[in-house]
């Protein structure tokens, strides 16, 4: 089953070219979006499987404007979790050394929206990643039990400024976490460790990998994260990016497709980009950075 959000606050099951509106059937209404309303009220895969879709309102997918399928409380992300990306970054360390980092929840955007480049003179890269959506509270779970806490999976772009700041700054700018186009529920993804991932920028295939090459796989990543922090329904884990990251330019289309999970498309804009030396809040303080 695939779950999408359209018209900002309507939850839908995707059925081919049609969206079946399940918002009212699930009572999925709340300030944090329809999916969070459903999950926070205790809903999960069992309720979705039991849903009778007969007679519910339908809408052509092509005419709908999709929103982020979930508004997470937390976006938790894995640095350096593929060997080939470790090599391209000339990185000696891996996730085992760096642990996890957090991206601001406010950096989430949906399909068809725009990534805004913050600076005119600093490189900003695409990172195509498999995303995991947590379905129920997970605290200190074992790798064996970890996948039982997953609602589903989706393509995630971890947009990343290449500069000296900590990851949580470089990756938390507004618009830096495109999610979508929808969530594919866990029952429809037999093995999250065997998915082909492809990412194009401006029509050029930059990333082509399999999630089989994750250094820390999905189950171990959830287990590890859940021993650091409690994972809440709707939280998203970005599992890390394979080789092929590269700079984005204004007007670029970024397309991330993961086998069975759909195709996330966004565009890049430099509207409002400023010189790095002019960073508001720091400008004029006489602070000399090394960069």
The minimum distance between CB 66 and Mn ion, in angstroms, equals: 23
Helix (H) or strand (E) run with residue 200 in it: strand 196-201
Beta-bridge partner residues of 200: 205, 255
Nearer to Mn ion, 36 or 171 (CB): 171
Q: Contact region for Mn ion (CB under 5 A) — 121-129, 147-155, 196-204, 251-259? A: 121-129
Would you say 113 or 127 has its CB closer to Mn ion? Answer: 127
- 260/249 Cα distance (integer angstroms): 28
Q: Which of 46-54, 119-127, 195-203, 222-230 is the region at the interface with Mn ion (rule: CB under 5 A)?
A: 119-127
The answer to whether 50 and 26 have CB atoms below 8 angstroms apart is no
Shortest distance, position 228 Cβ to Mn ion, whole Å? 17
- Please identify which residue in 21, 125, 127, 265 interacts with Mn ion, judged by CB under 5 A: 127
- DSSP structure class, residue 238: E
The one segment of 37-45, 123-131, 188-196, 279-287 that binds Mn ion by CB under 5 A = 123-131
Nearest-angstrom CA–CA distance, 137 and 41: 12
Q: Is there a cis peptide before residue 181, judged by omega within 30 degrees of 0?
A: yes
Residue 116 or 177: the one with the smaller Cβ distance to Mn ion is 177
- Confirm or reject binding of residue 125 to Mn ion (CB under 5 A): no
Residue number, 110 or 131, with CB nearest to Mn ion? 131
Q: Interface with Mn ion includes 158 (CB under 5 A)?
A: yes
Is the Cβ of residue 12 or residue 258 nearer to Mn ion in the bound state? 258
Return the range that interacts with Mn ion (CB under 5 A); candidates 58-66, 100-108, 126-134, 244-252: 126-134
- Which residue lies nearer to Mn ion by CB, 177 or 185? 177
Give least dist CB 14 to Mn ion, A.
Answer: 26
In 62-169, at which residue ranges do the beta strands (DSSP E only) sit? Answer: 66-67, 75-77, 101-103, 108-109, 114-116, 124-126, 128-134, 150-157, 160-161
Number of residues that bind Mn ion (CB under 5 A): 3
Cβ within 8 Å of residue 172, ≥6 positions away:
102, 103, 104, 106, 107
Record the tokens describing residue 239, joined without a space.
């599992």
183 vs 237 by CB, closer to Mn ion: 237
Triad 45, 67, 252: Cα angle to 5°: 125
Contact 41/11 with Cβ under 8 angstroms? no
From the list 24-32, 64-72, 152-160, 192-200, the region that binds Mn ion by CB under 5 A is: 152-160
Residues 216-275 that bind Mn ion (CB under 5 A): 241
Tokens 């969070």 appear where?
A: 36
Which residues make up the interface to Mn ion (CB under 5 A)? 127, 158, 241
């Amino acid at each position: 089953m695939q779950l999408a959000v359209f018209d900002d606050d309507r939850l839908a099951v995707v059925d081919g070219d049609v969206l079946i509106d399940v918002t009212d059937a699930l009572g999925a209404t709340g300030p944090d979006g329809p999916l969070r309303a459903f999950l926070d009220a205790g809903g999960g895969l069992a309720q979705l499987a039991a849903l009778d879709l007969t007679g519910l309102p339908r809408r052509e997918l092509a005419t709908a404007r999709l929103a982020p399928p979930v508004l997470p409380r937390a976006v938790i992300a894995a640095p350096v979790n593929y060997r080939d990306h470790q090599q391209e970054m000339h990185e000696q360390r891996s996730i085992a050394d760096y642990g996890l980092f957090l991206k601001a929840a406010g950096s989430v955007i949906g399909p068809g929206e725009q990534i805004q480049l913050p600076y005119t003179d600093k490189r900003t890269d695409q990172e195509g990643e498999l995303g995991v959506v947590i379905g129920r509270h997970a605290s200190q779970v074992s790798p064996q039990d970890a996948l039982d806490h997953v609602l589903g999976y989706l393509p995630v772009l971890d947009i990343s400024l290449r500069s000296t700041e900590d990851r949580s700054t470089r990756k938390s700018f507004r618009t830096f976490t495109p999610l979508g186009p929808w969530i594919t529920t866990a029952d429809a993804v037999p093995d999250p460790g065997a998915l082909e991932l492809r990412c194009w920028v401006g029509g050029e295939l930059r990333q082509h990998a399999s999630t089989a090459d994750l250094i820390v796989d999905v189950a171990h990543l959830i287990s590890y994260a859940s021993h650091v922090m409690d994972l809440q329904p709707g939280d998203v884990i970005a599992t890390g990016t394979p080789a092929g990251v590269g700079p984005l330019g204004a007007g670029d289309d970024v397309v991330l497709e993961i086998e069975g999970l759909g195709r996330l498309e966004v565009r890049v804009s430099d509207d409002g980009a400023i010189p790095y030396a002019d960073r508001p809040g720091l400008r004029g303080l006489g602070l000399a950075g090394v960069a």
